Amino acid sequence: MRILITGAAGFLGSHLCDRLILEGHDVIGLDNFVTGSKDNIAHLFGSQHFTFYKHDVSNYIFIPAKLDAVLHFASPASPNPASPYAYFNLPIQTMKAGALGTHNTLGVAKANNARFLLASTSEIYGDPTEHPQKETYAGNVDITGPRAVYDEAKRFAESLTLAYHRQHGVDTRIVRIFNTYGPRMDLEDGRALPNLLKQALLGQSLTVYGDGGQTRSFCYVDDLVEGIYRLLMSDEHMPVNIGNPVEMSILQFAQTINRMTDNTTEITYVDARSSRDPQRRRPDITRAQTILGWEPKVDLEEGLNRTIPYFKQKLGLA
């Protein structure tokens, strides 16, 4: 197939480019490098199966020749207010990527009679009162808070995607992505894993908010890409959770990181009010198991062992 990927220079987008090319497809990548990195796709330049355009998806998109699929992954996604590239600091660009970007990419899919896959997020569930979160859960969201620019953009994008499916017959798919990690992550991403792993590798005290009882589940990027690929090749139109259902507290996670990096510094507990993160996050992956025959294969320790060399290299420790 000939496949367009927006956000191709991002963490997930670049891994998807690799997988699709490996499967024999031709990939056209779009990115404006606001949050993506050329380093993530540098190895693809010169490949006869990869074409790249620098472009902002909130503007009209024209791709010459026929497309068979469109994957929309372009959006700021970092929750770290300290980063200039976080959605907190790019609020309008984030909402434009979710609204205008989704509209434009759906238009490309419609014009080409191509299948369409939207990258959505577990953040649409907000701070959930249902646990684990099923795709049928409507969420517990704050529509005016600082996280809303990302959460609501994705919720709108899902609604628009299904509207195009129902009104125009576009062959759509929606993946709700839960916490994912691996090589090519932004070390300043702001999520628990890059924060804690970077601190540990630098021999610093690990920062844990509150008592560390808040939970997360971590999916290795190769597992996530496998789930997305299976969804793209399926006939499923309704949202599907892709993530790892193995849940652990942030304190347990910090202790695991310290052990695996031989970091002996103490954990520092800071005021929970300085973190705006949801308290619990765990996917119900029953639909993915049933419809796609998918579940994660890489456990946390193996995934960390694959990720640590990349972090060391970026930190100048390798």
Please write the tens of the pLDDT for every residue from 80-104.
777 777 888 899 999 999 999 999 9
Active-site amino acid positions? 150
Task: Please tell me the distance from the alpha carbon of residue 172 to that of residue 154, in angstroms, as a whole number.
Answer: 15
- 17 occurs within a structural domain: yes
Tokens for 92, please give them: 């309008």
Residue 72: beta bridge partners? 6, 118
Q: What is the pLDDT of residue 276?
A: 58
- 72 occurs within a structural domain: yes
- 277 occurs within a structural domain: no
Domain that holds residue 288: 2-181+220-244+283-297
- 263 occurs within a structural domain: no
pLDDT tens profile 272-296: 755 456 778 899 999 999 999 999 9
Using an 8 Å Cβ cutoff, are 70 and 30 in contact?
no
- 266 occurs within a structural domain: no
Question: What one-letter code names the amino acid at 132?
Answer: P
Number of domains composing the chain: 1
- 145 occurs within a structural domain: yes
pTM reported for the whole predicted model: 0.95
Q: What is the H or E stretch that residue 5 is in?
A: strand 2-6
- 15 occurs within a structural domain: yes
CA distances from 312 to 129, 144, 194, 306 (A): 38, 38, 12, 11
pLDDT tens profile 232-269: 999 999 999 999 999 999 999 999 999 999 999 989 99
Q: 121: closest CA among 133, 108, 103, 113?
A: 133
Neighbour-count burial for 65-104, b at 16+ CB within 10 Å, e otherwise: eebebbbbbbbbbbbbeebebbbbbbbebbbbbbbebbbb
CATH number of the domain bearing residue 156: 3.40.50.720
pLDDT tens profile 102-128: 999 999 999 999 999 999 999 999 888
Mean pLDDT across the stretch 223-233? 98
- 96 occurs within a structural domain: yes
